[in-house]
Amino acid sequence: MNIVYRRPESLKKKTMHYCPGCGHSIIHKLIASVIDELQIREDTIIVSPVGCSVLIYDYFECDGTESAHGRAQAVSTGLKRVQPDKLVICYQGDGDLAAIGTSETIHSANRGENFTVIFVNNAIYGMTGGQMAPTTLIGQKTQTSPFGRDPVLAGYPLKMCELLNQLKAPAYIERVSVHDVKNTIKTQKAIKKGLSYQMNGMGYSFIEVLSMCPTNWGTAPVQAAQWVKEHLASYYPLGVFRDNGASEEYK
């Protein structure tokens, strides 16, 4: 059987700069596919972070804007409030969202801002060379934790879904992954749900995506995907934490 891979219309015909085996390119394609399916390209605005995906707007056939490090959700809040008819996608990595952007994340979620957050968790700072991130696992070696993360010195890895689930306002919180085909399909469904909820004015949606970073993990792409399954997903369990629209209308 011949399998035909079709580039989503909302994704530009442009070679991406990501390393081989990185999950960002997969997630980009999933977002573009959902934009096509929901026919919202002309109404979508993508807010980029500071990190490996800083140039995300170069790859999408829709509006996009830059944000300062950690401030993507503050920018998303402003965009959505002045243009409530637009669909705002806030795309952030773990260092951007869970370190310098912790305050913006918590308060945007606590206010129940009506936009969709795609949070890419690869447990490390990618663009800046592989430093320890808030999500780096205990014992995981990085450029700034060469002997492994020590909770006595650096605290414990932040579980952002669990943290935000303590707040009353968020409408939808789910953790997914792109380490294999089955979970990649689930990730696309989660992204569609998050954008559908925004279209229906339901409020804040937070989709955490466990992803691979072979270059900074010092491993091959296949082994990186296996590491997500065996280690990352073990500490960060996949699943739905909050779904205020769990009905046949949105399934």
Amino acid at 38: L
Distance CA(97)–CA(207), nearest Å, equals 12
Torsion of CA 46, 97, 113, 233, to 10 degrees: 100
pLDDT at 1 > cutoff 50: no
Q: State the pTM of this model.
A: 0.95
pLDDT, average across residues 24-32: 97
pLDDT at 4 > cutoff 50: no
- Phi/psi zone of residue 123: left (φ > 0), alpha (ψ -120 to 50 degrees), beta? left
Contacts of residue 44, Cβ cutoff 8 Å, sequence gap at least 6: 10, 35, 60, 62, 63, 86, 87, 88, 89
**How much is the pLDDT for 247?**
59
pLDDT at 15 > cutoff 50: yes
pLDDT at 183 > cutoff 90: yes
Map residue 29 onto helix, strand or coil. helix
Domains and CATH numbers, the chain: 24-243 (3.40.50.970)
Distance CA(20)–CA(218), nearest Å, equals 12
pLDDT, average across residues 183-207: 98
User: Tokens standing for 98?
Assistant: 């869970």
